[in-house]
Amino acid sequence: MKTALCVAMVLGLFSRAEATAAFDLLRQTAVSYTGSLPCGGWDCECAFGRQQSCCCAAQPLFDLEEATFMRMVGLWEGLSHLNSQIEELTAGCKIAFNAAMLPMSGCLGPFTSNVSISYQSVSLNQGNGYNPALGTFTAPHAGLYSFSFTAYSNVGSAGQRLYQKMQLMKNGQLIASSWEDNREDSEDSSSQTLLLQLRRGCQVYVELMSGRQLCGDTQGQNTFSGYLVYPFSEQ
């Protein structure tokens, strides 16, 4: 048993000595080598002295890692910028309102000048773009909007003049109108729906023309509504 152990120790020492001799020979050969290296620049001190994580391709690999990292940084910055643009574009996209005139048994008008109609019964005002006190919608965000308004009047009996005219305005500019002028009908209504491109801050409202009137709307059938179809950038 002891003899076998001694033999193993001797063989181990011999193997270590043989390996050391082979390594020294390899190092001397590499240091004395004067030809061209396939990798273009082997750091022999690094390769034979430290060995771990060291080879002739260390610098190219480092350059590749650095380039990859910088590209990832660029991609991250691009994604962050894109995310900011998306957030800016879609911010406040839930924009919609629906309002009606308060029920009345009498008439609104006639007036000596055009009057903005105040639709004070508000059932929806997402985005808070509609002001019921003024009857005006102010666009919180640039985009394509859809607007609708209904004109209703009931003068009570046939033979009386049904005389109404309402018009949709954008920043003081006439966009669409609806009117009725006859003595044959005592009750009538009409509606308009249209699309408008608005910038942030643009104002849309409905006005009653001078000399005209709305009567007998006891159920709040005069309505004004709108919503954002899709937003767009103002740039």
Residue ranges for the chain with pLDDT beneath 70: 1-62, 85-92, 158-162, 181-184, 186, 235
pLDDT at 147: 97
* Residue whose entry in the numeric block shows the structure tokens 């109404």: 164
Distances (CA, A) of 220 to 73, 104, 118, 133, 188: 59, 8, 12, 16, 14
What pTM was computed for the model? 0.60
Determine the Cα angle at 133 with ends 110 and 114, to 5°.
Answer: 30
Strand ordering across the sheet containing 121-126: 121-126, 96-100, 223-231, 143-154, 187-198
CATH code for the part of the protein at 96-231: 2.60.120.40
Q: Per-residue pLDDT tens for 79-120?
A: 887 777 666 665 557 899 999 999 988 888 888 999 999 999
pLDDT at 66: 78
Q: Would you state the structure tokens that stand for residue 177, as one six-digit string?
A: 């109108």
pLDDT at 5: 41
pLDDT at 229: 92
Domain spans of the chain?
A: 96-231
Q: Per-residue pLDDT tens for 10-33?
A: 444 444 555 566 556 666 665 565
Residue 98 has what DSSP assignment? E
